[in-house]
Structure 1
Amino acid sequence: MRGFRWPPPPDGGPRTWGPGPGGPRTGRPALPEPETELVATPHGVSLERLVTGVGDPVTVFAHGLGNGIATTRPFGSGVTGRRIFFQFRGHGRSDSPPGPWTYLDLARDLRAVADLGGATRAFGASLGAGALCRLLAESPERFEKLVFFLPAVLDTPRGEVARARLTGLLDAVADGDAHALAEAVSLELPPSVRNTPAGWAYLRQRLDQLLRDGLAPGLAGLPEQAALDDAAALAAVTAPALVIACADDDLHPVAVAEQLAAALPAATLHVYDRPGVLWTERADLRGRISTFLNG
């Protein structure tokens, strides 16, 4: 596999070195960031929010660590009704109260946004899936339908590889080191997409956002925490749930998704055979999520 280049060439190319055709040009970057608003919450933390669509039902979307509204919007593109996207504390324009923070704090952010918007369905990706689990452990009947995309942690902290990658991302943002940050973000891309125009577009957008908004120091302790004390706390959740995982994903082990699906009484598990499905299986992923939530 050819290596990753940084800084990028001015014209976005070449895609490869040496003889042979250029690299793959498939895949799409995250959607451009739209106009958002800041909303006050009952627990005193203002959170950045975007509401799209009209009517009922209402679905709230919770993002992963170091991500946000722009990277979460593609999951809701086929979902009917209103869609509420937001930034957890320490991300984007959301407040950064004194830390360190726990999954309980993130669950409060998620609950506040869901309550303010009247959401009856919830989607959680990675960190957002952990926050959703923590909310459900306290309020098992809060939502009517649930989607968990790439759950990363349940009742056991993340593994060493995952902690190292997330710590590297947080350190690069804190240092303002564009090269180190580009290397960290490039790992989010499948090898076939790196050094393609689509890959560079995604990378530039992510770097612009992270270097502009930063990530709060209060997030640093989250990679070492578990979302729940005991996964058995989810046994009272009766809402239909869809759990999605990918094989060979170091940050989101299939074993965590399997444990979550087993803990939820009405869960369906789907495992893709490789990571990077937003690039390689985008249409199938969006259809799977929208079919489940709209059905």
Structure 2
Amino acid sequence: MRSFRWPPPPDGGPRTWGPGPGAPRTGRPALPEPDTELVTTPHGVRLERLVTGTGDPVTVFAHGLGNGIATTRPFGSGVTGRKVFFQFRGHGRSDAPPGPWSYADLARDLRAMADLGGASRAFGASLGAGALCRLLAESPDRFERLVFFLPAVLDRPRGDAARQRFTALLDAVESGDASAVADVVSVELPAAVRNTPAGWAYLRQRLDQLLRDGLAPGLASLPDQIALADVGALAAVTAPALVIACAGDDLHPVDVAERLAAALPAATLHVYDRPGVLWTERADLRTRISAFLNE
């Protein structure tokens, strides 16, 4: 079994032992980083934003903890209309106002990006799904269609695995050690992908962003936060919703997705049979999301 190591082979590897072809090997490259802008929100926090596509409707995309625009862009590849991607406070080039921060703060960031962009549809992944839940509890009729990908938290704090993983990522980013960051980020990849050209491309992109922009210390308390005091508040949300989960994902338990789907009156739940679906079920996932949002 090949082991993971950093830095990557100079020709894009991976390397294998024994005789075999030695030419450079390539895989699907990570999406190039586009030019983004800093937008001042009504609550005074500047957030990094990228707008792609043309026309209506408009969909806002909210990322997960420690992630950002680059990791949410693939979800919108088949979605029609304009797409608004942004970085929550403490991520990328977005401001990091004095903390501690709560899901109410994240919901405020999400609402500002949706309002400024004129979004009528919303997608939330992990942390972004929690922020979207908080926004909907306050404004249940804000969006016309909703997608929740790997929801991680509702009215109960996240488990020890999530806290430990994010603490390790914060510590590695703070150290500035690329190898340490790569060790933590590589866990995001399915084992079969970690030593492939596509896996290396993903790692390079994540490391470039994390080591360049960092992560604000104010994010450290978020794994201990809850998104909602009472999931019953979501009963007033009448917009059609798609909730997506993966069996075997310790950071995003299926029971959270099941409870969310049960709380939303017009929700459809889809559970993949294994984690890492962005790698193992990429085409199906993108088609499922775009078909739902484009209805």
With structure 1 as the length reference, what TM-score do the two structures score? 0.95
2:293 corresponds in structure 1 to 293
Counterparts of 1:31 and 1:130, CA distance in 2: 26
Q: Residue deviations 1:171-220, cap 9 Å, x none?
A: 11122122221011001111111111111111011101100000011101
On the 8 A contact 2:9/2:15 being kept in 1, the answer is no
1:226 corresponds in structure 2 to 226
Distance of aligned partners of 1:30 and 1:107 in 2 relative to their CA distance in 1, 3 Å threshold: farther
The code of the aligned residue for 1:160 comes to: D
- What does 1:126-165 correspond to in 2, within 5 Å? 126-165=126-165
Structure 1 residue 18: deviation in Å?
5.7
Counterparts of 1:76 and 1:269, CA distance in 2: 19
The code of the aligned residue for 1:106 comes to: L
On the 8 A contact 1:129/1:151 being kept in 2, the answer is yes
* Residue segments in structure 2 that go unaligned for 5+ positions in a row: none
Q: Residue deviations 1:213-238, cap 9 Å, x none?
A: 00011101001111111111111111
1:104 corresponds in structure 2 to 104
- What does 1:72-111 correspond to in 2, within 5 Å? 72-111=72-111
Structure 1 residue 51: deviation in Å?
0.7
SS in structure 2 opposite 1:243?
strand
On the 8 A contact 1:28/1:279 being kept in 2, the answer is no
The code of the aligned residue for 2:215 comes to: L
Structure 1 residue 20: deviation in Å?
9.0
Structure 1 residue 166: deviation in Å?
1.2
1:65 corresponds in structure 2 to 65
Counterparts of 1:113 and 1:30, CA distance in 2: 25
Structure 1 residue 143: deviation in Å?
0.3
* Residue segments in structure 1 that go unaligned for 5+ positions in a row: none
On the 8 A contact 2:2/2:195 being kept in 1, the answer is no
Structure 1 residue 147: deviation in Å?
0.1
SS in structure 1 opposite 2:188?
coil
On the 8 A contact 1:15/1:196 being kept in 2, the answer is no
Q: Residue deviations 1:3-49, cap 9 Å, x none?
A: 32123222222344468999xx9985642110111111010001111
With structure 2 as the length reference, what TM-score do the two structures score? 0.95
The alignment's C-alpha RMSD in Å is 1.8
1:171 corresponds in structure 2 to 171
Q: How many residues align?
A: 293
SS in structure 2 opposite 1:91?
coil
The code of the aligned residue for 1:31 comes to: L
1:204 corresponds in structure 2 to 204
The code of the aligned residue for 1:275 comes to: P
2:275 corresponds in structure 1 to 275
On the 8 A contact 1:27/1:193 being kept in 2, the answer is no
Q: Residue deviations 1:69-91, cap 9 Å, x none?
A: 11111100100111100010111
The code of the aligned residue for 1:189 comes to: L
* Fraction of identical pairs, as percent: 86
Distance of aligned partners of 1:127 and 1:19 in 2 relative to their CA distance in 1, 3 Å threshold: farther
